[in-house]
Each structure stands twice: as C-alpha cells, then as structure tokens.
C-alpha cells in the first residue's frame, strides 16, 4: 500500500515531533554538580531555611544513602549517576521580585511559547499559575485575588518563610521521607514547588496551576508540592510539564502530598508532556514521582486525573489513603507510550475508614516499541467496613512491537466490603478503522479519533482548559505509530 | 455521464471465488438495485467498491468518474465521493457523533477545495440536515452508533450520506431490520438526497424497499454473477417467483 | 527462636541425596539450583502465608519399602494408581490396559522437557528443585497413540508423617490422538508434600485433569505442574482445594502448538487458619491459542485465599484469546483474600481480559430466602452451592460430576460448621 506510507510521511514531515524541545538562554546560578551534605547545606542556606528543615533534609539524605532503588517496576534503564547532576539551578536575579513585570523577559517568553502566558492580562481567565523553572518558582499569578478569599498559593520556599508551622506540620505527613528511594532523595534536595492552603469553608475561586519546566542541562528537578484543604474547602489544581529536547536523560523526582480534612475535596489534574526521547529511546526525562493524598476527614474526597504522554520512563502511582469514614478516592488515567517509551503507572487505594469508596479507571495505549504497564493496588483493611472499589483498566495496542501489561493487586480483609476489577487488552478493530476510512478519514485521524474515544471516560474528568490540550496531545503522541 | 463502470470483476476470498465476472455501469441520475439471495456476493461487491482490505480484485476493472480507483485507499475513495451505508454500522465507543461527522464532512470538503466548517457552523448545518432526516438532537450527543437501535443506526447512516453529498451511494441492505415506519423515514431521506448529478446502488434482499425508492434498473446477483438485468418489473417478478426461477432459467 | 529452615533444609537435602541415590551427580543440577526456600521476599510467594511452613523443621522421608494393605479407591469404576510415601505401589494399584505404559524415566528426560519449555523462571522453583533432587524414582505414565482410556485414571497420594516431606514425581504423556481423564487425589499425612508433575499433551489430544487437595490438617502441599500442549490439543483442568494447612496448586502451561487450548479452573474452600492458593502462569507461545481461568473461592474464619494468574502473550502469538475471572466470597471479617490477575502482552492482535470480584453473600438474596422460611444456614448453603455449581458443571466431565459435586458440598459444609 504505497499511498499509506506516503500519507504518513507527509504527516510526519509537516508536524513537529516535540514542539516544546527548545531551550532558553538565561543567566543561571548553579550549585556545583554532585550530591553531599554540603550541597544540601548550600540549597538550604540559599533559601534561608530554618534549622529544622536543614536537619530534616540531612536526615533524609542519610536515609537515602542506605536505601536501594526500587526494581519491581517493568522499566529498564541504566543506573543514574547521582554525582553527575546539578541539584540547584536558578535563574539569576538581583533582588526580590516585586511584581511579574520584573521577571526575566526570556523566561516570560519561554512560558508564552509553551502556551502559558504569565502576564496577568493575557492569562487564561480563572486560572492562577505558579511557574517553576528548573529549581525555583519564577512567578505566581493572581496571588492577591486568591488571598482575598483566604487561599494561600505560593512557592513552597516562600511558604517555609511565611508559614513555617504549617509546612512543618504537613511536610512528610502523607509521604514519609523513606517511603521509597526517590522520596528520600527528593526530601534531601527539593528546591521548590507549590504550596496551597484552602481554609475552612472556602471554595477556591479559580483553578490553581503549576507549570514545571526543566531548562538547564544535567539538572534534576525535585519539586515538592503540598496542598492542604481544611474542612469543607475545595480546590482544583492543574499541573503541566515540559522540558527541552536533549540527548541525555534528565531526572525528575517530585513528591506531591495532599491532605483533605472533613468534607474537603481536592481535584488534582496532570497533563504530563516531558520530553519523551527520540524514536530510538535516546534522551528524555526519567519521571519518578510519588504522589499521594490522605483523606483525613470524614466524607473527604481526593480525585487524581492524569494524562501521561511524555517522559522516556514514567514511574508514578498517585494514591489515596482513605482514612476518614465515607471518604472517596478516585484515579482516572490515560497513559500513552510510543517509540521507546516505558511507563509503569497506576494507583494505590488504601481503605481504612468505614464506607470508603474508590474508583479506578485506567486507559493504557501502547504504540511503537514501547512498553506500558498498569500496576495498581486495592487494599481493604480490617477497619474498612462496607468499603467499595471498582476498577476498570483497558489497554489498547497499536502495532505489533509494543507491549501492554496489567498487574493489579487486590487484598481484602473484611467480609462486607466489595471489590470489583475488570481489565481488557485488545487492538483497534479493523471494522472500526474501515468505518472511519469509508467516511473519508485517513489512518492517523481515524486512530486519533478512536483512541480519544477510548480515553473519553478519563478525559471528561479533566478541567475544560486542559481537556482540549490533552486531546491534541494524544493525536501528536501517536504520530507515526500507524501504517 | 458515467459515474461507475465495473468490467468483468473477479474476486476471491480465502481462495474461494465470490465474484465471478461482474459488469455494471451506473450513470448520473440513476438508481440501480442489486438483488440476490444470501451469500450471492452482494456485500462483497460493496466492500470491494469501498476498498476494504482483503477485498482486492483478482482481475477486472473499476472506474469511478472515469478514474481507475483500484489502487485508491478507502478514505481516498470516500473523499472522492463514494459512500457506503453499512449493513451493520460499527460502534465507536467514546467518539462523539458530532465530532465524527465534522471530521468526515471536513475531509470531504477539503478534498473538494471548500472551506472547512468550524464547530459552531457545523453544529448548525448538522441540526438542519438531521431535522430533515428525523434524527433527534439527543442522538447526536451520544457516541457513534453506541446504544442506537437498529433503526437509529440506519437513519444515522442516511444522515451521513446527506451531509457528505457523495456522487455515488451504495446502500447495503439498508432496509434490513426496519419496521414499516422506519423504512418510510429512511426512504424519505434517500429520495430527498437523490438528484440528477448523483447515483445510488441499492443492495437488497427484498423487493419491499423498492416500493419506496423506485429503481431505474434491477440486477439479479446469484452466486457471484449478474444473472439478469431489467427494469423495476424484474423486482416484482422475483418477489412473486423467488430467485429459483431466474437461477434455473440462466 | 531464630530458625533458618532454608539453610537447614538445604544441608539435609544434600545429605539425603548423597546418602540415598546412585545418580546423585545427575541430581546436582537441581540441588544446586535450590537456593531459596519459598519466602515472602520472592514476588510469586509474596501473597502466600508462609509463616508456619518456615518455622517447621522438615527433612525428606526415606520411603518405607513395605506396602501397607489398604485398598483405596475414589471412583468405583476407574483404574487406580496408588502412591504411598510419595512412591508408586504397584501391588496396591489396578492393572492397566496395554496401551497405557508405566515406566521409570531418567533425569535427562526431565531436563529435555525443561529445555523445551524454554523458560528460565521455572528453573528456580523450589518444588521443582527439591522434588527432582529427592524423588525416589521418576514415574512415567504414557498413553499411546490413537488410544482413549475407557475409564478415568486416578492417582492417589497417601502416607508420610508429621516430621518429614515426601516427593512424588510423575510424568504424564499423551501421544498423538489420545485422550485421558485423570483424577488426582492428595490425601497425604506428611508435613510437606511437594508433588512435581510434568504433562505432555501431544497433537490432537485431549486431557482432563481433576485435582482434589484433601491432605491432613497440618500438611503443606506445594504442588507444581508444568504442561506443554501441542497443536490442536486441549487440556482442561480443575482444582478442588479444601484440605491441608497450606495448599498451593501452581501450574505453568506452555501453549506450544497452534490451536491448542487450556482451561485452568478451580475452587478453594478454606476455614480456620488454612491458606489456599491457586497460582498459574500461562504462556501463549504461538498464534491462535486459547486459555481460560475461572476461579471461585469461599473463605471463612481466619483463612486466606490467593489467586495469582499471569498470562504471557508472546510476540508472534497473534489471535490469542485469554480470559481470567476470579470471584471470592468472604464469610468472615477475619478471612482475607488476595488476587493478582496479571496480563503481559507482546502481540497486538489479541483478545485478553481479566476480572476479579471480592465480596460477601448478597444480603438481598439471603433475605429473600429467609422470607421464604429458610433458616440462615440453609440460605447460605443454597447461595454457596449456586456460586460453586456453575463453575463445577462448566469444568467437570459428566462421568464423575456427581462425585466432585459431593466432594465440594462436603468441603463447604465443613467450612460452614467451624
């Protein structure tokens, strides 16, 4: 079929592969390469941190030294040389920024190119953005408007200065320092990230968003996000990420902690589009992220939605610990892998409180010679009377060189709880493709349409602004995968 | 003016001859009915014309608007104006009907060098046409063919035909599984679409549909061959005497 | 008390092999590969409740040559092969028709079989290595070409004591165009029984296996079955697990011939401190094969149940069709259930699915029965019976369907009583 390959070639030539692959020239201040206690002291003093935090970091570092990297995931990569990474890189700035206008214009331009204008008049109405550039937060928008309603939204480094008691209380309370190898590393060296506090009875008036960008070479990004929503509060939080196209692998080891009090709700959405590496698997981001939420209060709810299209390796399990009675955990995920990408992603739902409920919907799409694994755990503990879980995970295979794996663990320890799990793996049916062809769609648009349909249940959970972007992203991610 | 010319087409599936030397010529403004018993090769003929993989010609010629289309991809044939209304339209879970229709209509418009519809204009256009075809708004909100009744699926096929404005429409057993009211609605849609610049091939098992859409020519397809061709009266003859008489006579 | 039975067992094992077998050098391969006693550190044993097993001091039993004189039969009309202390006792067994051949085979044949499986993972399996090292002899049952046995063949395992382990090793071979119905009954009184079974199903053949695990209440059964299935052949197996302190039925199936199929169904009925475990790995090595697993479990009191099923569809195994379904009923808050259905897929044209549910008896259904005047026990009976009957009728040949049903009913009556 000559015409098919021609069409595909044309599409390939005319569409850019990874459109966020550019780099920005800014003056950067870096700590020397490598990791030791002095580097940690350097980071801590750069940020004028209180002593307890430095101690905490050092404690984490010492634990990390004794830990081993996890090897149970279905991902394969050569060992990371932790001494060959910069742990601190920050755009140089002479004095403290008073307003957005003082941000380095190069950085503002970068975000504009990424579709995230930081100047308030141009911004998406109703979304407040915290922009993290390499190791530090460069801008947070709509701060004042938020503070009117009592919501705190700022870089975590600022929160450490302004609200040390709050940070101290919750930091590490959901994800313990030594939870795993990467959380210990992150705790030792995290540089920035976002902090959100929604006080009692406040519904956050706008979507909050953090946009992560890795720019510098050989730099790891270790951000730390902490979101606390007090009784009956509500927040919807979005997270986006990109990185320049580079031949070496860069490490992103973030920790996100969510705390929901009585009747509080947190909706956390991610569109992850880190540079995935080239067709042969060269370069790309190692995305080793620990995200966990604690439904501390009764009737609280935490909902994770993720669209994972980037990174060369994804190792990520946004989880919920359902402690409060009648608390609810949700996980909606689309993970697409193409070329040589590897993803091992899923969730953990730990049911502790009575009448707790969790829903897991996972859609995995693998194309090229990629490998895509759903790994999930549903644990019903003895105290979780009448707990309920429903899990649906579907995998779609495009091409015969990729692989798809499903590994759910289901542990139930109480009789009156109910756990249901369904999973399927299949390819796009020839009948569906032919039907679309007959209506004039070429194979790329037909595939993109069918795959978007396959992901619909998850996509509809995304906030509007993100949903459109994510839909396009799915099409782009699959380019070159059919034929 | 010729729209479709098929000459001595042979086609095998898994080494079994299904079409054994079929010739058919369709001109602008004509309605052709292809009738035949089960397994006579009717659906194979429609898949062959639409270019489905696995239905390639063994020998013969297929010309659409005087172009040899045998090497065209299915979507290229569709863009050129060849439409197939499926006997069993497949479900596309999660794919919104409106989006699907827009993708289809815009790729046809692009081919014709016409401006593509934006979402808003398209929704207006669809509403208008859907109304004429008695397709409810609520149906357009659902996923393509998912949860549609048999009749709704067929109506949705005809709606697509009306929107795409093809040159040639092949309706594969569009009447099967329809009650008399649904049949009337579908026929109404087909008649509304029909004009002097396009043509229709009706593939059907029964004569019933031909009471509502009157063909200019009737062809009887039996065992991979057109055994007899004639006017509408031939359909009436088959209705009365069955296919047996024709098979024996041939 | 710090016990390290692993090391202890290995040295006992070495001594046992050195003292008792002339072909000890040939057995070394297996002996050397035995380096890990089942432990929760190993992924495939993580969900197993191994506490009691690892605290036990066990050594391999040197089988008593003298026969015991008891005539045992499960089915009235069948050919029985009786094993005592893990070895075949001809004098207690029925005479077989000509087309079934009983013989002993060499270690070499076992190694060839493992080579054919072409799988590294299996080589480190504890049951394989312990039993291949210290089985008294390797018994082969061969069904000759074009032969179908008229009655079921039953293999009954007896004997053992509370301090020792026993190690039966059996190869079942079906030559082309043959058929066999096989029933295996485990009624061991040993501390540990580690049966190793090797199954070869030749082209166009048909094998049905029913295994009943009904060992004494302190016994640990670590059964391992490895099957290779050739073209156009079918292997249907069903496990009924009800006895023992710890019973694990582990199957590794290699679908090596096109259009072959395997069914691995099972029921476990557990109570008190019992641990029951159905573990399987099915490899779709070639195109057009089918596999299906249906498992039902009923757990009462402190018991725990595990279903671990992994399906691997290899790169060229297009048009594979693989399904798994596990359903578990928990009758007590102290019971726990673990399921891990796993799909590992490297081919794109496949239909694979799995499902798992865990829950209690439906309150509405129970209430409906109560409102019709039944007492609670009777209502539970009816519901559990219905829950199990479906899968049993689906899995079991009519010849002995009633026998298996009776065994099942006895099994769940027992767990409801305790």
Cβ within 8 Å, pair A397-C338: no
Please give the pLDDT value at position A390: 94
Nearest-CA residue of chain C relative to A403? C346
Number of Cβ atoms within 10 Å of the Cβ of A103: 19
Determine the 3-state secondary structure of C296 from DSSP: strand
B78, B93, B160: residue with CB nearest A437:
B78
Residues contacting residue B191 through CB under 8 Å, at least 6 positions apart = B212, B213
Mean pLDDT throughout A176-197? 90
Number of Cβ atoms within 10 Å of the Cβ of B223: 17
pLDDT tens-digit series, residues C4-53: 555 677 888 888 888 888 888 888 888 888 877 787 778 788 888 877 77
Please give the pLDDT value at position C70: 67
pLDDT tens-digit series, residues C274-288: 999 999 999 999 999
CB pairs under 8 A between A and B: 88
Distance from CA of B208 to the nearest CA of A (A): 27
Half-sphere exposure of B143 (CA within 13 A, CB side): 17
Between B105 and A476, the higher pLDDT residue:
B105
Q: Chain A: which residues have CB within 8 Å of chain B?
A: 1-4, 7, 429-432, 434-443, 445-446, 449-450, 452-457
Determine the 3-state secondary structure of B239 from DSSP: helix
C117 vs B32: CA distance, rounded Å: 60
| A128 pLDDT tier (thresholds 50, 70, 90) | low
Cβ within 8 Å, pair C357-A420: yes
What is the separation of C-alpha B118 from the centre of its chain, rounded to a whole number of angstroms? 28
Cβ within 8 Å, pair C332-A382: no
B124 vs C134: CA distance, rounded Å: 81
Q: What is the 3-state secondary structure (H, E, C) of C387-400?
A: HHHHHHHHHCCHHH
Please give the pLDDT value at position A265: 96
Please give the pLDDT value at position A42: 86
Nearest-CA residue of chain C relative to A376? C340
What is the separation of C-alpha A409 from the centre of its chain, rounded to a whole number of angstroms? 23
Cβ within 8 Å, pair A398-C358: no
pLDDT tens-digit series, residues C128-180: 999 999 888 899 999 999 999 989 999 999 888 888 889 999 999 999 999 99
Give how far Cα A399 sits from Cα of A282, B58, C348, Å. Answer: 21, 28, 6
Distance from CA of C53 to the nearest CA of A (A): 22
Mean pLDDT throughout C70-91? 86
- Is residue B169 scored above 50 in pLDDT? yes
A190 vs C21: CA distance, rounded Å: 62
Specify which residues B230 forms β-bridges with: B218
Number of Cβ atoms within 10 Å of the Cβ of C281: 21
Pairing of the two strands C336-345 and C304-313: parallel
Neighbouring subunits of A (3+ Cβ pairs under 8 A)? B, C
Q: What percent of chain A has pLDDT over 70?
A: 78
pLDDT tens-digit series, residues B69-122: 999 988 899 999 999 999 888 888 888 888 889 888 998 999 999 998 888 888
Chain C environment of A382 (Cβ under 8 Å): 333
Cβ within 8 Å, pair A441-B95: no
Cβ contact A418:C359 at 8 Å:
yes
pLDDT tens-digit series, residues A142-182: 777 788 889 988 888 888 989 999 999 999 999 999 899 99
Determine phi and psi for C255, rounding to 5 degrees: -85, 95
A168 vs A53: CA distance, rounded Å: 8
A402, A408, A416: residue with CB nearest C360:
A416
Distance from CA of B110 to the nearest CA of A (A): 10
C-A interface (Cβ pairs under 8 Å ≥ 3): yes
Does the pTM surpass 0.90? The reply is no
Per mean pLDDT, which range of A32-36, A198-202, A234-238, A442-446 is the poorest? A32-36
Mean pLDDT throughout A193-215? 83
Q: Does B93 touch chain A (CB under 8 A)?
A: yes
User: What would you report as the CA-atom Rg of chain B, rounded to the nearest whole angstrom?
Assistant: 18
Please give the pLDDT value at position C225: 97
**8-state DSSP, B49:** H
For residue C76, give both structure tokens: 């009235």
Nearest-CA residue of chain C relative to A416? C360
Cβ contact C113:C200 at 8 Å:
yes
C-B interface (Cβ pairs under 8 Å ≥ 3): no
Please give the pLDDT value at position A102: 60
Q: What is the 3-state secondary structure (H, E, C) of B130-190?
A: HHHCCCCHHHHHCEECCCCCHHHHHHHHHHHHHHHCCCEEEEECCCCCCCHHHHHHHHHHH
B63 vs B80: CA distance, rounded Å: 12
Distance from CA of B241 to the nearest CA of A (A): 36
Per mean pLDDT, which range of A117-131, C97-111, C251-265, C316-330 is the poorest? A117-131
Q: Does B107 touch chain A (CB under 8 A)?
A: yes
Specify which residues C153 forms β-bridges with: C79, C182
Chain A environment of B75 (Cβ under 8 Å): 436-443, 446
For residue A457, give both structure tokens: 């249940």
Cβ contact A459:A467 at 8 Å:
yes
Mean pLDDT throughout A333-350? 91
Nearest-CA residue of chain A relative to C308? A409
Calculate the average pLDDT of chain C: 89
A434, A453, A455: residue with CB nearest B74:
A434
Residues contacting residue C120 through CB under 8 Å, at least 6 positions apart = none
Q: What percent of chain C has pLDDT over 70?
A: 96
For residue A439, give both structure tokens: 């209506």
Prediction ipTM score: 0.86
Q: Which of B95, B110, B145 to mutate to probe the A interface, most A CBs <10 Å?
A: B95
B69 vs B51: CA distance, rounded Å: 9
Determine the 3-state secondary structure of C315 from DSSP: coil
| A136 pLDDT tier (thresholds 50, 70, 90) | low
Distance from CA of A16 to the nearest CA of B (A): 21
* Domain map (residue ranges) of chain C: 7-362
Q: Which of A438, A441, A459, A467 to mutate to probe the B interface, most B CBs <10 Å?
A: A438
* Domain map (residue ranges) of chain B: 2-249
Cβ within 8 Å, pair A405-C343: yes
Please give the pLDDT value at position A327: 97
- Residue given tokens 């096109």 in the structure block: C258
| C1 pLDDT tier (thresholds 50, 70, 90) | very low
Between A483 and B146, the higher pLDDT residue:
B146
Please give the pLDDT value at position C187: 93
Cβ within 8 Å, pair C343-A410: no
- Is residue A103 scored above 70 in pLDDT? no
| A93 pLDDT tier (thresholds 50, 70, 90) | low
Determine phi and psi for C202, rounding to 5 degrees: -70, 175
Please give the pLDDT value at position A379: 93
A85 vs A315: CA distance, rounded Å: 19
For residue A116, give both structure tokens: 């995230």
Distance from CA of C361 to the nearest CA of A (A): 8
Between A80 and C240, the higher pLDDT residue:
C240
- Residue given tokens 């001859």 in the structure block: B17
C209 vs C174: CA distance, rounded Å: 13
Q: Chain C: which residues have CB within 8 Å of chain A?
A: 43, 47, 315, 318, 328, 330-333, 335-360
For residue A144, give both structure tokens: 């004042």
Instruction: Report, at the CATH architecture level, how domain B2-249 is classified.
Output: 3-Layer(aba) Sandwich (3.40)
Chain B environment of A1 (Cβ under 8 Å): 73
**8-state DSSP, C58:** -
Number of Cβ atoms within 10 Å of the Cβ of B112: 12
Most confident of A153-157, A367-371, B77-81, C252-256: C252-256
Determine phi and psi for C211, rounding to 5 degrees: -115, 130
Specify which residues A316 forms β-bridges with: A289, A345
- Is residue C342 scored above 60 in pLDDT? yes
**8-state DSSP, B65:** T
- Is residue A135 scored above 70 in pLDDT? no
Distance from CA of A348 to the nearest CA of C (A): 14
Cβ within 8 Å, pair C356-A413: no
Calculate the average pLDDT of chain A: 81
Cβ contact B228:B219 at 8 Å:
yes
Please give the pLDDT value at position C60: 84
Cβ contact B164:B109 at 8 Å:
no
Cβ within 8 Å, pair A3-B76: yes
Distance from CA of A97 to the nearest CA of B (A): 43
- Is residue B30 scored above 50 in pLDDT? yes
Q: What is the 3-state secondary structure (H, E, C) of chain A?
A: CHHHHHHHHHHHHHCCCCCCCCCCCCCEEECCCCCCHHHHHHHHHHCCCCHHHHHHHHHHHHHHHHCCCCCCCCCCCCCCCHHHCECCEEECCCCCCCCHHHCCHHHHHHHHHCCCCCCHHHCCCCEEEEEEECCEEEEECCHHHHHHCCCEEEEHHHHHHHCHHHHHHHCCCCCCCCCCHHHHHHHHHCCECEEEEECCCCECCCEEEEEEECCCCCECECEEEEEEECCCCEEEEEEEEECCCCCCEEEECCEEEEEECCCCEEEEEEEECCCCCCCCCCCEEEEEEEEEEEECCCCCEEEEEEEECCCCEEEECCEEEECCCCCEEEEEEEEEECCCCEEEEEEEEEECCCCCEEEEEEEEEECCCCEEEEEEEEEECCCCCCCEEEEEEEEEECCCCCEEEEEEEEEECCCCCEEEEEEEEEECCHHHHHHHHHCCCCHHHHHHHHHHHHHHHHHCCCCHHHHHHHHHHHHHHCCCCCC
For residue B90, give both structure tokens: 């497949």
Nearest-CA residue of chain A relative to B90? A432
**8-state DSSP, C220:** E
Cβ within 8 Å, pair C344-A405: yes
Residues contacting residue C176 through CB under 8 Å, at least 6 positions apart = C145, C146, C202, C203, C204, C205
pLDDT tens-digit series, residues B178-209: 888 888 888 888 888 889 999 999 998 888 88
Cβ contact C214:C243 at 8 Å:
yes
Chain A environment of B94 (Cβ under 8 Å): 452-457
| A286 pLDDT tier (thresholds 50, 70, 90) | confident
Please give the pLDDT value at position A27: 65
Cβ contact A380:A389 at 8 Å:
yes
Residues contacting residue C390 through CB under 8 Å, at least 6 positions apart = none
Nearest-CA residue of chain C relative to A369? C346
Chain A environment of C353 (Cβ under 8 Å): 422-425
B158 vs A443: CA distance, rounded Å: 23
Chain A environment of C347 (Cβ under 8 Å): 397, 400
**8-state DSSP, C136:** S
Chain A environment of C340 (Cβ under 8 Å): 407-410
Between C318 and A460, the higher pLDDT residue:
C318
Nearest-CA residue of chain C relative to A398? C348
């Amino acid at each position: 079929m000559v015409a098919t390959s021609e069409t595909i070639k044309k599409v390939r030539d005319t569409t850019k592969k990874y459109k966020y692959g550019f780099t920005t020239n800014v003056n950067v201040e870096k700590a020397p390469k490598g990791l030791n206690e002095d580097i940690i002291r350097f980071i801590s003093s750069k940020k004028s941190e209180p002593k307890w935090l430095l101690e905490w970091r050092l404690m984490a570092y010492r634990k990390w030294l004794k830990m081993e990297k996890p090897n149970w995931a279905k991902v394969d990569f050569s060992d990371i040389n932790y001494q060959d990474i910069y742990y601190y890189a920050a755009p140089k700035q002479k004095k403290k920024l008073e307003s957005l206008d003082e941000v380095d214009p190069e950085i503002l331009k970068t975000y504009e190119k990424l579709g995230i204008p930081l100047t308030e008049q141009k911004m998406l109405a109703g979304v407040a953005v915290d922009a993290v550039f390499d190791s530090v937060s460069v801008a947070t928008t709509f701060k004042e408007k938020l503070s009117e309603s009592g919501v705190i939204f700022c870089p975590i480094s600022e929160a450490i200065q302004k609200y040390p008691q709050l940070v101290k209380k919750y930091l590490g309370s959901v994800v313990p320092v030594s939870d795993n190898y990467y959380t210990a590393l992150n705790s030792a060296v995290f540089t920035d990230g976002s902090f959100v506090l929604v006080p009692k009875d406040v519904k956050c008036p706008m979507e909050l968003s953090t946009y992560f960008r890795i720019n510098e070479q050989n730099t790891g990004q270790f951000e730390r996000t902490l979101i606390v929503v007090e009784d009956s509060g509500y927040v919807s939080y979005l997270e986006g990420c990109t990185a320049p196209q580079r031949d070496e692998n860069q490490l992103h080891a973030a920790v996100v902690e969510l705390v929901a009090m009585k009747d509080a709700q947190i909706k956390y959405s991610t569109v992850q589009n880190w540079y995935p590496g080239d067709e042969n698997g060269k370069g790309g981001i190692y995305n080793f992220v620990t995200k966990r939420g604690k439904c501390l209060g009764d009737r609280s709810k935490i909902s994770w939605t993720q669209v994972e299209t980037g990174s060369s390796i994804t190792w990520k399990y946004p989880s919920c610990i359902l402690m409060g009675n009648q608390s609810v955990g949700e996980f909606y995920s689309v993970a697409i892998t193409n070329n040589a990408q590897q993803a091992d992603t899923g969730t953990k739902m730990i049911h502790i409180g009575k009448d707790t409920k969790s829903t897991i919907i996972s859609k995995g799409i693998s194309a090229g010679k990629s490998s895509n694994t759903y790994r999930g755990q549903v644990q019903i503990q003895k105290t979780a009377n009448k707990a309920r879980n429903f899990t649906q995970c579907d995998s779609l295979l495009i091409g015969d060189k990729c692989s798809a794996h499903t590994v759910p663990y289901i542990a139930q320890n109480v009789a009156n709880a109910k756990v249901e799990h369904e999973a399927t793996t299949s390819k796009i049916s020839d009948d569906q493709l032919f039907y679309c062809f007959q209506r004039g769609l070429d194979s790329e648009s037909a595939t993109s349409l069918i795959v978007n349909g396959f992901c619909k249940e998850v996509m509809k959970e995304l906030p509007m602004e993100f949903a459109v972007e994510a839909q396009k992203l799915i099409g782009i991610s699959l380019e070159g995968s059919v034929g | 003016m010729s729209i479709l010319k098929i000459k001595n087409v042979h086609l095998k599936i898994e080494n079994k001859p299904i079409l054994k030397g079929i010739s058919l010529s369709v001109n602008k403004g004509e309605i052709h009915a292809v009738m035949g018993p089960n397994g006579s090769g009717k659906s194979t003929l429609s898949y062959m014309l639409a270019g489905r993989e696995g239905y390639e010609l063994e020998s013969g010629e297929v010309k659409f608007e005087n172009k040899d289309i045998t090497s065209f991809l299915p979507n290229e044939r569709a863009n050129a104006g060849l439409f197939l209304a499926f006997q069993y339209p497949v479900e596309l879970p999660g794919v919104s009907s409106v989006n699907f229709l827009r993708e289809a209509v815009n790729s046809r418009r692009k081919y014709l060098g016409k401006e593509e519809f934006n979402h808003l204009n398209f929704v207006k256009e669809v509403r208008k046409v859907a109304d004429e075809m008695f397709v409810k708004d609520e149906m357009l909100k659902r996923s393509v063919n998912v949860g549609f009744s048999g009749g709704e699926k067929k109506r949705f096929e005809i709606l697509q035909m009306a929107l795409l404005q093809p040159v040639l429409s092949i309706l594969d057993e569009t009447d099967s599984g329809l009650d008399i009211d649904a049949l009337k609605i579908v026929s109404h849609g087909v008649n509304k679409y029909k004009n002097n610049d396009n043509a229709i091939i009706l593939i059907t098992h029964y004569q019933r549909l031909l009471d509502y859409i009157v063909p200019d020519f009737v062809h009887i397809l039996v065992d991979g061959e057109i055994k007899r061709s004639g006017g509408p009266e031939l359909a009436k003859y088959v209705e009365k005497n069955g296919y047996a008489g024709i098979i024996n006579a041939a | 008390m710090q016990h390290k039975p692993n090391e202890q067992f290995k040295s006992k094992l070495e001594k046992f092999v050195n003292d008792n077998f002339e072909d000890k050098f040939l057995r070394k391969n297996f002996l050397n590969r035995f380096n890990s006693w089942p432990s929760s550190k190993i992924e495939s044993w993580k969900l197993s409740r191994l506490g009691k097993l690892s605290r036990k001091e066990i050594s391999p039993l040197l089988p008593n040559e003298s026969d015991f004189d008891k005539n045992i039969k499960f089915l009235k009309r069948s050919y029985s092969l009786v094993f005592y202390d893990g070895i075949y006792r001809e004098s207690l067994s029925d005479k077989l028709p000509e087309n079934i051949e009983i013989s002993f085979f060499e270690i070499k044949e076992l190694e060839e079989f493992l080579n054919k499986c072409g799988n590294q993972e299996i080589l480190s399996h504890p049951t394989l290595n312990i039993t291949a090292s210290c089985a008294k002899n390797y018994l082969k049952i061969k069904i000759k070409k074009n032969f179908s046995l008229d009655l079921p063949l039953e293999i009954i395992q007896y004997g053992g004591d509370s301090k020792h382990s026993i190690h039966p090793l059996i190869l079942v071979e079906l030559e082309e165009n043959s058929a066999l119905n096989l029933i295996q009954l485990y009624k061991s009184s040993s501390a540990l029984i580690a049966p190793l079974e090797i199954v070869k199903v030749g082209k166009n053949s048909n094998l049905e296996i029913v295994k009943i695990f009904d060992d004494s209440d302190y016994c640990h059964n670590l059964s391992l079955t490895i099957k290779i299935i050739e073209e156009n052949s079918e292997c249907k197996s069903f496990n009924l697990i009800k006895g023992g302190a710890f019973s694990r039925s582990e199957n590794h199936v290699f679908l090596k011939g096109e259009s072959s199929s395997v069914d691995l169904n099972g029921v476990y009925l557990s109570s008190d401190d019992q641990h029951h475990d159905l573990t399987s790995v099915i490899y779709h090595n070639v195109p057009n094969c089918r596999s299906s697993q249906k498992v039902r479990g009923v757990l009462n009191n402190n018991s725990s149940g595990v279903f671990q099923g992994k399906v691997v569809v290899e790169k060229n195994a297009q048009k594979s069709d693989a399904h798994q379904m596990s359903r578990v009923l928990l009758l007590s808050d102290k019971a726990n259930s673990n399921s891990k259905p796993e799909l590992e897929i490297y081919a794109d044209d496949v239909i694979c699915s799995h499902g798992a549910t865990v829950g209690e008896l439906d309150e509405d259904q129970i209430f409906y029965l109560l409102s019709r005047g039944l007492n609670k026990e009777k209502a539970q009976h009816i519901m559990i019976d219905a829950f199990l009957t479906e899968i049993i009728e689906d899995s079991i040949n009519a010849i002995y369907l009633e026998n298996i049903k009776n065994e099942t009913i006895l099994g769940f009556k027992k767990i409801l009583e305790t």
